[in-house]
Structure 1
Amino acid sequence: MKTIKAGIVGGAGYTGGEMLRLLVNHPSVEIAFVHSNSNAGNLISDVHTDLLGDTDLRFTAELSSEIDVLFLCVGHGDAKKFLDANPIAEGIKIVDLSQDFRLKANAGADWVYGLPELNRERIKAASYIANPGCFATCIQLALLPLAAKGLINSEVHINATTGSTGAGQSLSTTSHFSWRNNNLSIYKAFEHQHLNEIGESLSQLTPGFAEVLNFIPQRGDFTRGILAAVYLETELSEAAAQELYESYYADHVFTHVSKKNIDLKQVVNTNKGLVHVEKHGGKLFIISIIDNLLKGASGQAVQNMNLMFGLPESEGLRLKAAAF
């Protein structure tokens, strides 16, 4: 297959940096341009210093139509503005990492929700992908096998903690080291925006889904990763739940079901999602973990690109966890 030419818009942030790290080493991709108005002319390795020695590319304020795929690594609300202001030539595939096209009300018929564990066959045929949110990915991996069998029949309780990179690179009070270090806080309790996309996915598998999702997001005192602790009432035994989850994810290359308890270091710096299930009385307890910048953002975007172009799903994404 010919080399895929990729453009990146918003290349100076965390997701843009991770996209560059992946694509610089992807055997089937050539980076055609990396767009950033604020850094135009600067060496990419001066902004993303981890890429020193890996690329001599510079940021540019110019766009080119000589590409096969465009990654939008911009803030929420900015992807739609960018596409309205810069019509993209027909035939160029788009993967948007913002939330602008994730919900059906905003997406229209052309956009496909890019969670391979839910929509892999649709992604293969798609031209426009709305990459899922990081919390949404982690929580959905915990719930999809149950929803596929119509087995979510009670309220779902979710407590999930994310690293500081989940807030993006722009400074805010809660992203300063002096505030975040040795600290833990809750935000957007019961109201997080990712609940909407999770609900739409569960409804796709369980038509008419109407159970309450009680979601308590937390800011953690670490850089990257998400751990979601989820429980609900069910009559499933632990053995039946284990079999259900193993069966659902059997042919998904990045999501694995562990019989042992799991921890974040197993997935940080990888595109993997790990899931663990336990039964406690009448409650099924599910732990789900991902790296928020990879499986929760840029890694999943590259996974989607691989599917769209008929490449092996894991190409360029076989990454070892930084486990120690």
Structure 2
Amino acid sequence: MLKVGVIGAAGYTGGEMLHLLCQHPQVQIVFAQSQSQTGAISKVHRNLAPYLNKDFVKQGSLTDIDLVFVCAGHGQGKAFMSEHQIPSTLQVIDLSHDFRLQGGHNFQYGLPEAFRESVSKAQRIANPGCFATAIQLALLPLAAHKSLSSSPTITAITGSTGAGQKPSPTSHFSWRQNNVSVYKSFQHQHLTEIEQTLQIAQGDTCPPIHFVPVRGPFTRGILASVTLTSDISQSELSEVFHSYYEPHPFVHVVDDEPDLKQVVNTNFCFLSIRKHGDQIHIVSVIDNLIKGASGQAIQNMNLMNGFNEMSGLTLKPSTH
């Protein structure tokens, strides 16, 4: 059994991580650390009452585990690495944005559909951002085909859990409900990691990405609508995407434009690709807390340890 600890276990991604790990046949949860909560984990994550009879701890021993998930906020990944003596054998998967750009503490960027071989050999993984995951999966096949020649325009809408558990004016129910708003237009923090991955895939400089994020009046999920100009035919486009994702079990290219309910509560990404004149339109949907965070981290854990890639991640979507 792989012994794991979870840092920052009281938040949204920490709770999803614990729930998914409870279902994993090859994992033992040794500790769940929180600085904000004490007592029974099931008092905070009430859905875990049937699965996990443990208390939060203020500090867990890193020498008692094989792998640690760092689910704390941005900036806390670097703090964790600098403030602790990390055993050389300890695998680390960090869910903050601290190590997503190349360099620093030997972290491998953990998008399995782009870097599966490198992930499987890595000791430390920087888990991708949620918007970054949805957008990269929409554009990776074109970049790998050397066909990303025009600037993509992206509008992507996300649920309120993407902002984390700490309350803010724009995550408050009375503001978010029945409301939609744009934020961080053309300057979202995920842009740099998206461009980094696409440049590696294309082997050359990629055109600029124009990205407008949108806050949605729902709790979880991301729908990204991507358009770009290309002279590639619909049949070639379909072949490029199906061929690229054939070895990747969590990405499905579908005929009809997908909706969020097909993927919420799962680690799947559904993609549709349509040609309209010289315009390509790609729709990408994921669950921001699972494929965009905790589920992808477990997918990376599986690859790092030679487990079945889908182990612990055969989940049912919220279709009703």
| TM tier, smaller | over 0.9
TM-score scaled by length of structure 1:
0.97
Partner residue in 2 for 1:69? 67
Match of 1:270 among 262, 266, 269: 266
Report deviation, 1:134.
0.2
1:11-38 per-position Cα deviation (integer Å, ceiling 9, x unaligned): 0000000000000111000000001122
- For 1:306, give the aligned amino acid: N
Task: Give me the whole-angstrom Cα distance separating, in 1, the residues matched to 2:69 and 2:214.
Answer: 28
- For 2:84, give the aligned amino acid: N
Task: Give me the whole-angstrom Cα distance separating, in 1, the residues matched to 2:15 and 2:36.
Answer: 15
Partner residue in 1 for 2:81? 83
- For 2:34, give the aligned amino acid: S
Partner residue in 1 for 2:288? 292
Match of 2:304 among 308, 316, 320: 308
Task: Give me the whole-angstrom Cα distance separating, in 2, the residues matched to 1:227 and 1:38.
Answer: 32
Alpha carbon RMSD of aligned pairs, Å? 0.8
Is the 2:149–2:206 Cα contact (8 Å) retained in structure 1? no
Report deviation, 1:207.
2.6
Partner residue in 1 for 2:47? 50
Q: How does 1:1-40 map to 2 (within 5 A)?
A: 3-40=1-38
Report deviation, 1:83.
1.5
TM-score scaled by length of structure 2:
0.98
Partner residue in 2 for 1:221? 217
Report deviation, 1:206.
1.6
1:35-75 per-position Cα deviation (integer Å, ceiling 9, x unaligned): 112213x1000000111121111100122121010000010
State the secondary structure of the residue aligned to 1:297: helix
| Paired positions, count | 319
Is the 2:198–2:206 Cα contact (8 Å) retained in structure 1? no
Partner residue in 2 for 1:174? 170
Q: Identity percentage over the alignment? A: 51
Match of 1:237 among 233, 237, 258: 233
Partner residue in 2 for 1:136? 132
- For 2:229, give the aligned amino acid: E
Q: How does 1:198-217 map to 2 (within 5 A)?
A: 198-217=194-213
Task: Give me the whole-angstrom Cα distance separating, in 1, the residues matched to 2:124 and 2:213.
Answer: 29
Match of 1:148 among 139, 144, 147: 144
Report deviation, 1:245.
0.3
Task: Give me the whole-angstrom Cα distance separating, in 1, the residues matched to 2:36 and 2:168.
Answer: 19
State the secondary structure of the residue aligned to 2:292: coil
1:175-230 per-position Cα deviation (integer Å, ceiling 9, x unaligned): 00000000000000000010000000011012332301000000000110000000
Unaligned 5+ segments in structure 1 are none
Q: Work out whether 1:157 is the aligned partner of 2:150.
A: no
Task: Give me the whole-angstrom Cα distance separating, in 1, the residues matched to 2:237 and 2:316.
Answer: 28
Task: Give me the whole-angstrom Cα distance separating, in 2, the residues matched to 1:205 and 1:267.
Answer: 26
Task: Give me the whole-angstrom Cα distance separating, in 1, the residues matched to 2:311 and 2:210.
Answer: 36
Q: How does 1:188-199 map to 2 (within 5 A)?
A: 188-199=184-195
Task: Give me the whole-angstrom Cα distance separating, in 2, the residues matched to 1:24 and 1:43.
Answer: 15
Task: Give me the whole-angstrom Cα distance separating, in 2, the residues matched to 1:237 and 1:259.
Answer: 16
Task: Give me the whole-angstrom Cα distance separating, in 2, the residues matched to 1:19 and 1:87.
Answer: 24
Task: Give me the whole-angstrom Cα distance separating, in 2, the residues matched to 1:284 and 1:190.
Answer: 20
- For 1:155, give the aligned amino acid: S
Task: Give me the whole-angstrom Cα distance separating, in 2, the residues matched to 1:32 and 1:283.
Answer: 51
Match of 1:283 among 246, 257, 279: 279
Partner residue in 1 for 2:113? 117
Unaligned 5+ segments in structure 2 are none
Report deviation, 1:112.
0.5
Task: Give me the whole-angstrom Cα distance separating, in 2, the residues matched to 1:139 and 1:269.
Answer: 19
Task: Give me the whole-angstrom Cα distance separating, in 1, the residues matched to 2:26 and 2:50.
Answer: 20
- For 1:16, give the aligned amino acid: G
